[in-house]
Amino acid sequence: MIALSMQINGRAVQVQAETSSLLVEVLRGPLALTGTHVGCDTAQCGACTVLMDGQAVKSCNVLAVQAEGKSITTVEGLAEPGQTHPLQQAFMDCHGLQCGFCTPGMLMTAACLLAKNPQPSEAQIVHALEGNLCRCTGYVNIVSAVKQASVAMAGGAA
């Protein structure tokens, strides 16, 4: 076991982990942040996506030690406490989720996209979501929701 320090959702956190531990195991285990999900073994489904220093990463493909000193944002920290993030609102408005299992990963991937490219084209949204699998929605309403959020975040009417 080694001691790791990182920022999780804006708070300094110390956590013990094995050198072989994956970031997602530390998030879901000792840190009890179970909003980040595990859906595959091969970094295909993207349900485990979190932000590491603002970059969307698949936390099943990142060792916990790689997060040392980094700032991690999970779905639990997407919105300010008590607030609803425009992406969360848009997913609700657009029926962008059904079972909800892939949703945290979709939200975090989209958050990364909108931070870097606040007004993405539909093609850019689709490209950004290429590494996130959804079996329920057919992606129709997910793409609509990301579009709506980009408009809302730009201050326009959705």
Partner 1 sequence: MNAPVEAGRFGSGQAVSRIEDPALLRGQGRYTDDVAMPGQLHLAFQRSPHAHAQIVSIDVAAAAAMPGVRAVYTGADLVAAGVQAIPGPGGFARPGGAPAVSAPRRALAHERVRCVGEPVVAVVADSAEAARAAADAVWVDYTELPAVVDPFDAMQPGAPVLCDAAPDNIAAEMRHGNVDATAAAFARAAHTITLDIDNQRLAPSPIEPRCVLAWVDAADGRLNLRLSSQMPTGVRGSVAAALPGLTPEQVRVQVGDVGGGFGMKTGIYPEDIAVAYAARALGQPVKWRAERLEEFLSAVHGRDVISRGELALDADGRVLALRVHGVANVGAYASGTGVAIQVLIGPWVQTSIYDIPCIDFRFTAVMTNTATMGAYRGAGRPEAIYITERLMDAAARRLKLDPAELRRRNMIRPEQMPYKNPMGQTYDSGRFEQILDQGLALADWQGYAARREASQRRGKLRGRGIATFLEWTGGNVFEERVTVNVSADGFIELGSATQAMGQGIATSYAQLAVDVFGVPIDRIRILQGDTDRVNGFGSAGSRSLFTGGSAVSVAATRTIDKARDLAAEALEAPAKDLEYEAGRFKVAGTDLGIGLFELAARQPDAAIQVDSTSSVGGPTWPNGCHICEVELDPDTGEVALAAYASVNDIGRVISPAIVRGQIEGGAVQGIGQALCEHVVYERETGQLQSASFMDYALPHADGFRDFKTAFDTSIPCKTNALGVKGVGELGTIGATPAVVNAVIDALDAAGLGASAERIQMPVTAERVWRALKLREMDASPYRA
Interface residues toward partner 1, by CB under 8 A: 20, 28, 33-42, 44-45, 47, 74-76, 78-79, 84, 88, 91-93, 95, 97-104, 107, 125-127, 129-130, 132-143
- Minimum distance of partner 1 from residue 30's CB (angstroms): 11
Burial class (CB in 10 A: 0-12, 13-18, 19+), 150: buried
Radius of gyration of the chain (CA): 15
Cβ proximity to partner 1: between 49 and 70 the closer is 49
The DSSP H or E segment spanning 149 is: helix 140-153
Cβ proximity to partner 1: between 69 and 83 the closer is 83
Q: Starting at the edge strand that comes first in sequence, how are the strands of the sheet with 55-58 ordered?
A: 11-17, 2-8, 71-73, 49-52, 55-58
- Minimum distance of partner 1 from residue 102's CB (angstroms): 5
Cβ proximity to partner 1: between 7 and 39 the closer is 39
**What are the C-alpha distances in Å from 15 to residues 6, 32, 34, 54, 69?**
8, 12, 16, 21, 12
Kindly state the DSSP code that residue 51 receives in the 8-state scheme: E
Cβ proximity to partner 1: between 116 and 135 the closer is 135
- Minimum distance of partner 1 from residue 47's CB (angstroms): 6
- Minimum distance of partner 1 from residue 103's CB (angstroms): 6
